[in-house]
Amino acid sequence: MCVAESIRAREASILAANRTDVEAARRRGMKESLIDRLSLSEKRIEEMLSGLKEIVSLPDPVWRSSEVFSLSNGLTIQKMTVPLGVIAIIYESRPNVTVDAFSLALKSGNCIFLRGSSSAVNSNKALVAAIKEGLAASSVSEAVIELADSESHDEVRTLLSLRQYIDLVIPRGGKDLIDFVVENSRIPTIETGVGNCHVFVDSSADFKKALDIVENAKTQRPGVCNAIESLLVHVDIAQEFLPGLYERIGGRVEFRGCERTVAIIPAKPATEEDWATEYLDYILAVRVVDSFEDALSHIERYGTRHSEAIVTEDYEHAMAFVRRVDAAAVYVNASTRFTDGGQMGFGAEMGISTQKIHARGPVGLSQLVSVKYVGFGNGQVRE
Amino acid sequence: MCVAESIRAREASILAANRTDVEAARRRGMKESLIDRLSLSEKRIEEMLSGLKEIVSLPDPVWRSSEVFSLSNGLTIQKMTVPLGVIAIIYESRPNVTVDAFSLALKSGNCIFLRGSSSAVNSNKALVAAIKEGLAASSVSEAVIELADSESHDEVRTLLSLRQYIDLVIPRGGKDLIDFVVENSRIPTIETGVGNCHVFVDSSADFKKALDIVENAKTQRPGVCNAIESLLVHVDIAQEFLPGLYERIGGRVEFRGCERTVAIIPAKPATEEDWATEYLDYILAVRVVDSFEDALSHIERYGTRHSEAIVTEDYEHAMAFVRRVDAAAVYVNASTRFTDGGQMGFGAEMGISTQKIHARGPVGLSQLVSVKYVGFGNGQVRE
């Protein structure tokens, strides 16, 4: 825990560096919601440290095996987990990611290369200096963490070409950042984060469950990727369900609806763009659909393969939804907000992967490793 | 088994198409070893079909789970395997890969896009036509398999940019092909195949085991990726070990040695290039090393992270070797030739992955899937 101690010991200088970043951001006119993400406080540093301690306390994900078997010739083979090597993370303003990414990488035996945003440069430098100071007092090399010393766009391009030095790149931020990294990387990437998630309220839905789930998935924390952006309601129950929903959350949430929705509750008319937008805000697009199949088609067309939920009491629809909807997580009668490493019991995460290769869903310690087959023999040869 | 039947029914036309390819290749002066890889025969078609039947008989890799858990609120979460989607394979001349890749892809619920080599174009067309004919008689769409209708290099570039249509690209062939795909792909790839593998005979090695293992790893089938290319011998036993090895395999294998090797057994002097070459032939580079550490350094520098073996009776060296050597498979006192899906009991494979992301080692059915988290609830929301 040398690192936690050195972060605490350097708390004043970290907060001072963060104030410099926050003041510069405010001068440049950064939105207050982003200023909030950028800002550190004593309380937030304590939260960082408790996150760090939680990761330290998780089981070591390296050199574990769930597959050990013997061939008929007596050769025993173990499929063991091993570190990936060097992980690079390219992230936007939140400085707590600096500490999270470091702790996840180190716990999984990897080195971490951090490329933060220019708006957080002073905060990140202060945090990395504190981490390195802590490592210097430990048996682990300070070289396991490095911060990019420039925030230029060209440097990101260069970084993305260094396949011989970096094993995995994780972009963490908005859609533009993720698309840029995925389009330009020569290094394997894990796409994280964009979530245009839906709840579909089926004709057989239990209204109490549906109201609870829609309210939770939309309003419990709208700025995160596993919150919902659109609601699909079966035409048979729309007239009955929507007014209750409006009563429940209409005071806090702006509705944008299809024609049939607008005829039932107060809502702005939704445009084509609304169905494809990740608002990350107190806005909900609502579409009345004619059938279960139409709901699936809408999700197939507009969803980002993150988290999708159905509220239904129909067994066949429940089973068909979880099989047929293509997403990292699919739920029956539960909020989409459970797509989260902490909620699922895996601990902290680098993000939520929406790709199919290597890792899908929460990217925690178990996803930051590779494997190695180890054979223990006594002279076996192949026949 | 409609597909096996249609391949058998069209056997004559498949063999005729293959003869066209073989004659054209011979006219262009293709090496006989490559002509052999390109050629089909009734026997080889029977082998293809038994491979197909073996894959059909393997357990379904889709919608399986090794992780089902419940949260304290009663939400049950299952981490289920799901197909990847569309897999593209870019491969060199062997037409049997056409049938293997199709069967592995279909069994794992995926579609397969095949881009074979121009030298096998008629064989591949005939095989794919037979497969499609078989599918037409089944409940599976013929569209699950498509063959690229051009063999141009530009088309491969285009293919590698189609991230929205293809989920995974597997290059299977020589180093140049693999490097081209990895360098140019916008789609996640699995690198397969290049194996500059080593056996290190430690000072404590049991000579009988060492001789058996080196002979097997070098000569049992030298043209494959898990055969060894270089031998490292501890200086303390080189004088005693090498003559016995030369006696055992010197008649079949050309030795290329370091200065100390050349002083002990008949061998051409090895150049720097030899240490880095995947001969795929009856040639063995031999280096006498001063220590266990020097053997590890050599493997670190020249190895391709495929398969590495140590022959030792020293417990600490055995354990250090398997932990510290970075490769898809590491062996103590066993041949490197066991890095193979069939040998390890996983069935057929798309190739041997030497990368760390998604799949490492044999790429069989279990590696051709992604995952999906499925939550079954009864109204759970996040607190």
> What digits encode the pLDDT tens for the residues A11-40?
999 999 999 999 999 999 998 878 988 999
Residue B223: count other Cβ atoms within 10 Å of its Cβ: 12
pLDDT digits (tens, 9 = 90+) for B210-253: 999 999 999 999 988 999 999 999 999 999 999 999 999 999 99
Instruction: Answer whether residue B380 is part of any domain.
Output: no
The answer on B184 and B65 residing in a single domain is yes
Average the pLDDT over B133-138 and give the result. 96
Find the closest chain A residue to B161 by CA distance: A183
Find the closest chain B residue to A309 by CA distance: B375
pLDDT digits (tens, 9 = 90+) for B174-219: 889 999 998 899 999 998 878 999 999 999 999 999 999 999 999 9
Let me know: does A258 contact A287? Beta carbons within 8 Å. Answer: yes
The answer on A127 and A161 residing in a single domain is yes
pLDDT digits (tens, 9 = 90+) for B68-114: 999 999 999 999 999 999 999 999 878 999 999 999 999 999 999 99
- CATH number, position A12: 3.40.605.10
Give the nearest partner residue to A332 out of B63, B79, B376, using CB atoms: B376
Quote the ipTM score. Answer: 0.94
The answer on A246 and A130 residing in a single domain is no
Instruction: Answer whether residue A301 is part of any domain.
Output: yes
Number of domains in chain A: 2
Average the pLDDT over A65-76 and give the result. 96
| pLDDT of amino acid B33 | 79
Average the pLDDT over B117-134 and give the result. 96
Give the nearest partner residue to A381 out of B63, B216, B328, using CB atoms: B216
- B68 touching chain A per CB within 8 A: no
Match 């990727």 to its residue by tokens.
A225
| pLDDT of amino acid A376 | 98
**Residue type for A289, please?**
V
| pLDDT of amino acid A240 | 98
The answer on B172 and B88 residing in a single domain is yes
The answer on A130 and A31 residing in a single domain is yes
Residue of B207, B376, B383 to mutate for A, most A C-beta atoms under 10 A: B376
Tokens read off for A12: 């004043």
Predicted confidence band of residue A346 (pLDDT cuts 50, 70, 90): confident
Instruction: Answer whether residue A38 is part of any domain.
Output: yes
Q: How many helices (H) does chain B have, and how many strands (E)?
A: 15, 16
- Range 351-380 of A in CB contact (< 8 A) with B: 355-358, 360-361, 370-380
* Residue A243, domain extent: 197-342
| pLDDT of amino acid A154 | 84
| pLDDT of amino acid A166 | 96
Residue B76: count other Cβ atoms within 10 Å of its Cβ: 16
Residue of B218, B314, B322, B324 to mutate for A, most A C-beta atoms under 10 A: B322
What is the share, in percent, of chain A residues with pLDDT greater than 90? 88
Instruction: Answer whether residue A382 is part of any domain.
Output: no
Average pLDDT, chain A: 95
The answer on A251 and A118 residing in a single domain is no
Give me the DSSP letters along A202-230: -TT--HHHHHHHHHHHHHS-TTSTTSEEE
Instruction: Answer whether residue A214 is part of any domain.
Output: yes
3-state SS class at A139? coil
Give the distance from residue B218's alpha carbon to the nearest chain A alpha carbon, in angstroms.
11
Residues B247, B251, B257, B263, CA torsion sign: positive
Residues contacting A297, CB < 8 A, separation 6+ = none
The answer on A278 and A298 residing in a single domain is yes
- B65 touching chain A per CB within 8 A: no
- CA–CA distance, A250 with A82 (Å, rounded to integer): 50
Give me the DSSP letters along A293-318: HHHHHHHHHH--SSEEEEE-S-HHHH
Average pLDDT, chain B: 95
Tokens read off for B192: 């397969």
Beta-carbon separation of B186 and A182 below 8 A? yes
Least confident of A203-212, A311-320, B315-324, B346-355: B346-355
The answer on A307 and A267 residing in a single domain is yes
- Range 148-187 of B in CB contact (< 8 A) with A: 163, 167-168, 182-183, 186
pLDDT digits (tens, 9 = 90+) for B57-78: 999 999 999 899 999 999 999 9
The answer on A239 and A171 residing in a single domain is no
The answer on A231 and A82 residing in a single domain is no
Beta-carbon separation of B330 and A212 below 8 A? no
Give the nearest partner residue to A75 out of B163, B338, B361, using CB atoms: B338
- CA–CA distance, B238 with B228 (Å, rounded to integer): 18
Let me know: does B345 contact A69? Beta carbons within 8 Å. Answer: yes
Instruction: Answer whether residue B10 is part of any domain.
Output: yes
Average the pLDDT over A94-118 and give the result. 95
Give the distance from residue B238's alpha carbon to the nearest chain A alpha carbon, in angstroms.
19
- B206 touching chain A per CB within 8 A: yes
Beta-carbon separation of A338 and B77 below 8 A? yes
Does pLDDT of A141 surpass 80?
yes
- CATH number, position A221: 3.40.309.10
Tokens read off for B27: 């006219």
| pLDDT of amino acid B1 | 64
More confident residue, A182 or A106: A106
Instruction: Answer whether residue B211 is part of any domain.
Output: yes
- Range 251-290 of A in CB contact (< 8 A) with B: none
Predicted confidence band of residue B127 (pLDDT cuts 50, 70, 90): very high
The answer on B181 and B242 residing in a single domain is no
Beta-carbon separation of B209 and A379 below 8 A? yes
Give the distance from residue B54's alpha carbon to the nearest chain A alpha carbon, in angstroms.
19
3-state SS class at B19? helix
pLDDT digits (tens, 9 = 90+) for A190-199: 988 789 999 9
Give the distance from residue A332's alpha carbon to the nearest chain B alpha carbon, in angstroms.
5
- CA–CA distance, B232 with B236 (Å, rounded to integer): 12
The residue count for chain A: 383
3-state SS class at B181? helix
CB-side exposure of A138: number of CA atoms within 13 Å?
A: 18
Give me the DSSP letters along B250-309: TTT-EEEE-HHHHTTS--EEPPHHHHT----SSEEEEEEESSHHHHHHHHHHH--SSEEE
The answer on A319 and A362 residing in a single domain is no
Does pLDDT of B44 surpass 80?
yes
**Beta pairing partners, A135:** none
- Range 311-340 of A in CB contact (< 8 A) with B: 318, 322-323, 326-335, 337-339
Beta-carbon separation of B323 and A355 below 8 A? no
* Helix, strand, coil percent values for chain A (each to nearest 5): 45, 25, 35
| pLDDT of amino acid A1 | 65
Q: Name the nearest CA neighbour of A346 among A55, A53, A80.
A: A55
Find the closest chain A residue to B85 by CA distance: A356
Q: What beta strand segments (E) does chain B contain? A: 65-70, 76-83, 86-91, 111-115, 145-147, 168-172, 197-201, 228-234, 254-257, 268-269, 283-289, 307-311, 329-334, 352-353, 361-362, 369-380
- Range 76-105 of B in CB contact (< 8 A) with A: 77, 79, 82, 84-85
pLDDT digits (tens, 9 = 90+) for A240-274: 999 999 999 999 999 999 999 999 999 999 999 99
Q: Name the nearest CA neighbour of B361 among B324, B328, B332.
A: B328
Average the pLDDT over B341-358 and give the result. 92
Q: What are the angstrom distances between the C-alpha of A322 and each of A49, A301, A310, B80?
A: 37, 17, 9, 10
pTM equals 0.93
Instruction: Answer whether residue A127 is part of any domain.
Output: yes
| DSSP structure class, residue B271 | P
pLDDT digits (tens, 9 = 90+) for A348-374: 899 999 999 999 999 999 999 999 999
Give the distance from residue B103's alpha carbon to the nearest chain A alpha carbon, in angstroms.
20
